[in-house]
Chain A
Amino acid sequence: MQTSSRLVKWLISAPPLAFLLIFFAAPSLIMIFTSFRLPGEFGGLAPVHILPGNTVEDSGLTVETYRFFFSDFIYFEIFLKSFTVAAFTTVICIAMAYPLALLIARSGKKFRNLMIMLVVLPFASNFLIRIYAWMIILGPESALSHMINSVLAVFGMAPVTLLFSPFAVLIGMIYVHLPFMILPLYTNLEKHDPILLDAAQDLGANRWQRFRYVTWPQSLPGIFSGSALVFIPVLGMFAIPDILGGTGDIMIGNLIKDQFLGTRDWPFGSTLSIMLTLAVLGIAGLFSWLAKPVTRIT
């Protein structure tokens, strides 16, 4: 019995474990290793020099790419800009998602499912198509552009281009990530006990006070998990700046993409990826730490 249950455990765990060790853990380790190498003359990696006696020459591993990363201020700036875009996206998503999530949570059960379905549906359509839709809306010949520019003309102001701007990137980011904020917020708000609101009202709290002291603090775990789901993917996104942004709107993701598929500097691309990983780990740690004390209260 003991041996057969051991065998079962092994039979179930080994295949996924092996697959993920080979195709997730090993590639991650390779990336760390690559970041300590130097780029080859024609892209890829510089060959490692194996000395007689099978020892790898010292010049095989180096911190040169890291030194390069910290020596140029531009990389710091791009990281900072990516964090700013991610922060704006997250805050605007919270502001848009909260009322909707609240309404869904307080609706009748049948209606609730329909409204959730309506949130999930657009997000089930292809990601590129959703970005492309904004190319049409923000394009220079679009009705929206014409409208805004004719209003601006009335006030004697110069016409603006909506597409290929930081504004377009932000809209695209919000559009693609909004459901990731609505769903966890709704899951949280749906669990709130309405009796608490009644109690607050009996004690004389007005609408704003009830929200400020009852609903809002209870919903913080939902906000933090939603924020992690929005902030982290935005940080690494390259397609939206690529399609909706101008040449100056690149983010960490674009930088990494260019190192691998453009200049083919694998070591530096790996270094940037590791910096992004560290940033993501820091952010994830921050959000889970923020979410904790509140969960204890509720």
Chain B
Amino acid sequence: MPNFRAKQSSSHRLTALWIVSILVYAFLYIPLIIVVVFSFNDSKLNAEWVGFTFHWYKALLHNHEMLEAARNSLIIAVSASFLATVLGTMAGLAIHRYKLKVLPVLAFTPVAMPEILLGVSLLLFFLQVLNLTLGMLSIIIAHTTFCIGFVAIIVRARLQGMDESIFEAARDLGATPWQTFRQITLPLIRPAIIAGALMSFTLSIDDFVITFFTKGVGDPILPIQIYTMIKVAVTPEVNAVSTLLMLLTLTLIIIATRFDNSMLGKS
């Protein structure tokens, strides 16, 4: 039973925590709100509010390079997340079930190290060993490499939380390994696989550093285009692209949580 004095001191503490927390939330959100607000600003400068306009969105619709970049990024993200989900799920299963030494190190290290290291080592490998012309393919491979680890982590975490006796029961009832996998394991880890796929997709479409090192000269890629816009010519078009991208991510997250909750509810 907490006494009165305790209650009061803890509520004091909570008020202080609240104030600091609101400031931290403000720090997290104000920059993004400013980007969205300025995307509707009728001025070439990102400094003060002049008037409302859709001009920057219209300009974007006529920016062919940007549209092509968006299409390329989408192709890369879909391919890389598909490959990473398949390979990452396998890795997660293998790491959980067998006492492998090498695979966990190979899968988890790219997640933990600075991205630039993977970027430059792949650049060297593609040019020096494979003699590959850098382009969409090299980016897809690079994205797959670092996404595998994320999928494997999510799948393994899901497997670790499960009761092993289900699999033993299936085996006792005479199920073949394939049947056990199809009818028991796969449905149980499906939410993890979906979460891993969505995570890979967002990581891929968002990735700047690794794309920067493994891209070729030909195909425009979304983060690279944004980087150039920021570095070379800052126009409020950047705000419009940013706002649209935020909207896309937000939608994806809402879909993901809806999907994941219903999945979790079923299992």
Binding site for B on A (CB under 8 A): 4-5, 8-9, 12-13, 15-17, 19-21, 23-28, 30-31, 34, 44-45, 96-97, 99-100, 102-104, 106, 117-122, 124-137, 139, 141-143, 175, 178, 198, 201, 207, 232-233, 235-239, 242-243, 253, 256-257, 260-261, 266, 269-270, 273, 276-277, 280, 284
Contacts and interface: CB of A to CB of B under 8 A. Distances in A.
Nearest to A228: B112
Majority-rule SS of B interface residues: helix
Q: Chain B interface residue count: which class?
A: 35 or more
Interface of B: 2, 6, 9, 12-14, 16-18, 20-21, 24-25, 27-32, 34-35, 38, 45-48, 86-88, 90-91, 93-94, 97-98, 100, 102-103, 106-107, 109-110, 112-118, 120-125, 127-129, 141-142, 144-145, 148, 152, 176-177, 202, 206, 208-209, 212-213, 223, 226-227, 230-231, 234, 238, 242, 245-246, 249-250, 253, 257
B124 A8 contact: no
Contacts of A28: 121
Contacts, number: 235
A26 B122 CA distance: 9
B87 A24 contact: no
B120 A19 contact: no
Contacts of B30: 137
Contacts of A17: 91, 94, 102-103, 106
Contacts of B257: 117
A273 B90 contact: no
Majority-rule SS of A interface residues: helix
B90 A23 contact: no
Given A45-B128, A127-B223, A261-B213, 4 more contacts: A16-B90, A23-B141, A129-B226, A260-B120
A136 B242 contact: no
A16 B87 contact: yes
A270 B227 CA distance: 25
A16 B110 CA distance: 14
Contact of A132 (B27, B35, B109): B35
A100 B20 contact: yes
B57 to A, nearest CB: 16
A128 to B, nearest CB: 5
29 contacts: A8-B177, A17-B94, A17-B106, A20-B91, A24-B109, A27-B121, A27-B122, A34-B128, A44-B127, A44-B128, A96-B27, A99-B20, A100-B21, A100-B24, A102-B17, A124-B253, A126-B206, A126-B223, A127-B206, A133-B31, A134-B31, A142-B47, A143-B48, A233-B114, A238-B209, A243-B231, A273-B116, A276-B117, A284-B112
